[in-house]
């Protein structure tokens, strides 16, 4: 244990702390075209790739109640779920809402209530309706209008939900699509489109927040960002320091400024300009956008942080050179982006089979950074954190002690942040049950509950029993 933890560091989480598991509609529900659901871009993309199918996923569409029963039995008092936009509005912006899709979520939320598991509901988890996605998604301003209309509809339709998040991981949605090229219609190195889409999605978030607050609904609303602390590989090297700042703006800073300031700090703008020049493009932030965003910035009730890893940046002045490790062959990933830098691993820092850097202290550094740089934040939730593994079911059980150690270390740093005065409301492990991974398929498992994707049988892993004790006692 790091010497930073003193005997005074609390070992117990607050009484009202939420412990749960996270899911996303597309990754768990299956039923991709059942009962009037409209298509999303992933449907055709995955079919063309032929690597894996999103059907039936975890068959959550039919099995949500038994999965919630598992949550209850394993001591969880919260769950993250998302609404599939195209189940409600099959074509996105136009047409009548789909009664069967609407009913599904009423049933899901009723089951949550009956099990004493609070639903934390995200409106958009990477699954824009296909028609909107094909027309530019959030680079097309019509999608912003459509998202606001969809959000208003959900706020009115589901008064039983009092914990809302607008978007999940705008950074992942935009980086994977415009910079890393690993998502449908992907492009590489297109930094200005990535930043423009981030801004437009934050404007859509702001409009949903204003609609929620003007509507006087009695719940909370926020947004979920995938944050990574960006350290210079060598803090004494100015090029590395600059690369860390570049990557910070690309992944974190534009989004955090937009969330809590409603505009962009001079330092952020300077790096945005630099990134745009590097990809020969520009971004447009309209004055009207900023006035909406500034109003919304004071109204967020919470911020969700999805934290998996941090990065060490080296200076890099070559051509963009990327290789996504989508197979779990350790050491095959490469991330060098012109105008940004090179992501490297400092010696001695452990990584997963997918080359994700295990660095729990980064979560603490991020929480402290937010509390210092954005003192108007109200509450943080760790809305995703977890470890992808090639879990094996052996003799009816899964020994995932490595995952337990990962989660325990992160929870310890959360306690440290609480000791330092940061308001943290809860922790959701990614993921509740094993789910497919967007670019890695079914062999990258994260769940508390092992899923046999042939039979849909669930088996609690060692981590589920460990987490149950933590959730019930609120202690590590």
Site residues for ligand BGP, window 141-200 (CB under 6 A)? 168-169, 172
Q: Name the one range near ligand BGP by CB under 6 A: 43-51, 66-74, 400-408, 437-445.
A: 437-445
Distance CA 147, CA 165 (A): 13
Distance CA 101, CA 69 (A): 22
Q: Name the one range near ligand BGP by CB under 6 A: 87-95, 207-215, 435-443, 455-463.
A: 435-443
- Smallest distance from ligand BGP to CB 345, Å: 17
DSSP string, 161-182: --EEEEEE-HHHHHIIIIIB--
Q: Which is nearer to ligand BGP, 13 or 126 (CB)?
A: 126
226 interacts with ligand BGP by CB under 6 A: yes
Active-site residue, selected from the candidate residues 118, 169, 228, 384: 384
Which three-class secondary structure state does DSSP give residue 12? Answer: strand
- Smallest distance from ligand BGP to CB 352, Å: 9
Q: Which residues 6+ apart lie within 8 Å of 358 measured at CB?
A: 309, 349, 350, 351, 352, 387, 406
- Smallest distance from ligand BGP to CB 13, Å: 23
Which of 101, 129, 262, 388 is close enough to bind ligand BGP by CB under 6 A? Answer: 388
Q: Which is nearer to ligand BGP, 101 or 388 (CB)?
A: 388
Nearest-CB residue for ligand BGP? 437
Which of 105, 167, 233, 438 is close enough to bind ligand BGP by CB under 6 A? Answer: 438
Q: Which is nearer to ligand BGP, 197 or 297 (CB)?
A: 197
Q: Which is nearer to ligand BGP, 226 or 258 (CB)?
A: 226
- Smallest distance from ligand BGP to CB 354, Å: 6
Place of tokens 């990535």: 194
E strand segments, 206-301: 220-226, 230-232
Q: Which helix (H) or strand (E) holds 277?
A: helix 266-278
Whether residue 100 lies in the annotated active site = no
Site residues for ligand BGP, window 68-87 (CB under 6 A)? none
- Smallest distance from ligand BGP to CB 226, Å: 5
Task: List the alpha helices (DSSP H) in 5-79.
Answer: 25-28, 41-49, 60-73
Distance CA 75, CA 142 (A): 43
Q: Name the one range near ligand BGP by CB under 6 A: 11-19, 73-81, 158-166, 434-442.
A: 434-442
Sign of CA dihedral 35, 39, 43, 47: positive
Q: Which helix (H) or strand (E) holds 213?
A: helix 191-214
Task: List the alpha helices (DSSP H) in 286-420.
Answer: 287-297, 361-373, 401-419
Site residues for ligand BGP, window 232-261 (CB under 6 A)? none
E strand segments, 209-248: 220-226, 230-232
Q: Which is nearer to ligand BGP, 221 or 224 (CB)?
A: 224
Site residues for ligand BGP, window 13-72 (CB under 6 A)? 24, 27
Q: Name the one range near ligand BGP by CB under 6 A: 89-97, 210-218, 430-438, 447-455.
A: 430-438
- Smallest distance from ligand BGP to CB 81, Å: 12
Sign of CA dihedral 10, 16, 21, 25: negative
- Smallest distance from ligand BGP to CB 320, Å: 20
Query: Do the beta carbons of residue 228 and residue 361 sit within 8 Å?
Result: no
Sign of CA dihedral 24, 30, 31, 33: positive
Distance CA 166, CA 221 (A): 7
What is the radius of gyration, based on Cα positions, of the chain? 21
Which of 384, 400, 409, 434 is close enough to bind ligand BGP by CB under 6 A? Answer: 384
Tokens of 361: 């202290």
Q: Which is nearer to ligand BGP, 438 or 467 (CB)?
A: 438
Which of 370, 439, 461, 463 is close enough to bind ligand BGP by CB under 6 A? Answer: 439
- Smallest distance from ligand BGP to CB 397, Å: 23
Site residues for ligand BGP, window 323-382 (CB under 6 A)? none
Q: Which is nearer to ligand BGP, 175 or 254 (CB)?
A: 175
Q: Which is nearer to ligand BGP, 67 or 169 (CB)?
A: 169
CA dihedral 41, 435, 173, 105 (to 10 degrees): 70
CA dist list (Å): 398 to 64, 437, 445, 449? 22, 19, 11, 9
Interface with ligand BGP (CB under 6 A), residue total 15
- Smallest distance from ligand BGP to CB 353, Å: 11
Nearest Cα neighbor of 84 from 104, 55, 66 is 104
DSSP string, 124-162: ESS--BHHHHHTTGGGSHHHHHHHHHHHHHHHHH-TT--
Query: What residue ranges bind ligand BGP (CB under 6 A)?
Result: 24, 27, 168-169, 172, 226, 306, 384, 388, 430, 437-440, 444
> Looking at the annotation, which residues are catalytic?
384
């Amino acid at each position: 244990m790091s010497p930073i933890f003193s005997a005074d560091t609390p070992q117990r989480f607050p009484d009202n702390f939420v412990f749960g598991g996270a899911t996303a509609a597309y990754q768990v529900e299956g039923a991709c075209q059942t009962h009037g659901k409209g298509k999303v871009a992933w449907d055709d993309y995955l079919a063309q790739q032929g690597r894996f199918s999103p059907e039936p996923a975890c068959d959550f569409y039919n099995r949500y109640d038994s999965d919630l029963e598992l949550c209850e039995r394993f001591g969880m008092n919260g769950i993250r779920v998302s609404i599939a936009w195209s189940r409600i509005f099959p074509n996105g912006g136009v047409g009548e809402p789909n009664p069967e899709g609407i009913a599904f979520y009423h049933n899901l939320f009723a089951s949550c209530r009956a099990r004493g598991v609070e639903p934390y509901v995200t409106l958009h988890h990477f699954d824009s309706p296909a028609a909107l996605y094909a027309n530019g998604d959030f680079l097309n301003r019509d999608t912003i209008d459509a998202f606001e209309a969809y959000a208003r509809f959900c706020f009115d339709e589901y008064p039983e939900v009092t914990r809302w998040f607008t978007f999940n991981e705008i950074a992942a949605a935009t980086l994977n699509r415009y910079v890393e090229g690993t998502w449908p219609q992907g492009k590489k190195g297109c930094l200005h489109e990535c930043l423009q889409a981030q801004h437009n999605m934050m404007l859509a978030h702001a409009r949903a927040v204003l609609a929620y607050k003007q509507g006087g609904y009695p719940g909370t609303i926020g947004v979920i960002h995938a944050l990574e602390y960006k350290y210079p590989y060598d803090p004494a090297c100015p090029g590395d320091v600059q690369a860390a700042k570049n990557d910070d703006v690309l992944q974190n800073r534009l989004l955090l400024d937009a969330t809590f300031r409603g505009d962009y700090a001079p330092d952020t703008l300077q790096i945005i300009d630099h990134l745009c020049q590097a990809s020969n493009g520009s971004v447009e932030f309209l004055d009207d956008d900023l006035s909406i965003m500034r109003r919304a910035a004071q109204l967020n009730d919470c911020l969700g942080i999805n934290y998996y890893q941090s990065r060490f940046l080296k200076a890099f002045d070559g051509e963009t050179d990327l290789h996504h490790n989508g197979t779990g062959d350790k050491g095959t990933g490469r991330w060098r982006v012109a105008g940004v830098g090179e992501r490297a691993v400092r010696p001695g820092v452990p990584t997963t089979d997918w080359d994700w850097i295990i660095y729990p202290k980064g979560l603490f550094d991020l929480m402290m950074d937010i509390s210092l740089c954005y003192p108007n934040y109200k509450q943080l939730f760790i809305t995703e954190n977890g470890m992808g593994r090639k879990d094996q079911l052996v003799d009816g059980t899964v020994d995932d002690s490595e995952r337990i150690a990962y989660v325990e270390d992160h929870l310890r740093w959360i306690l440290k942040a609480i000791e330092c005065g940061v308001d943290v409301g809860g922790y959701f492990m990614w993921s509740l049950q094993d789910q497919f991974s967007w670019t890695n398929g079914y062999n990258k498992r994260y769940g508390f509950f092992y899923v046999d994707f042939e039979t849909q049988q669930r088996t609690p892993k060692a981590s589920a029993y460990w987490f149950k004790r933590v959730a019930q006692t609120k202690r590590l």
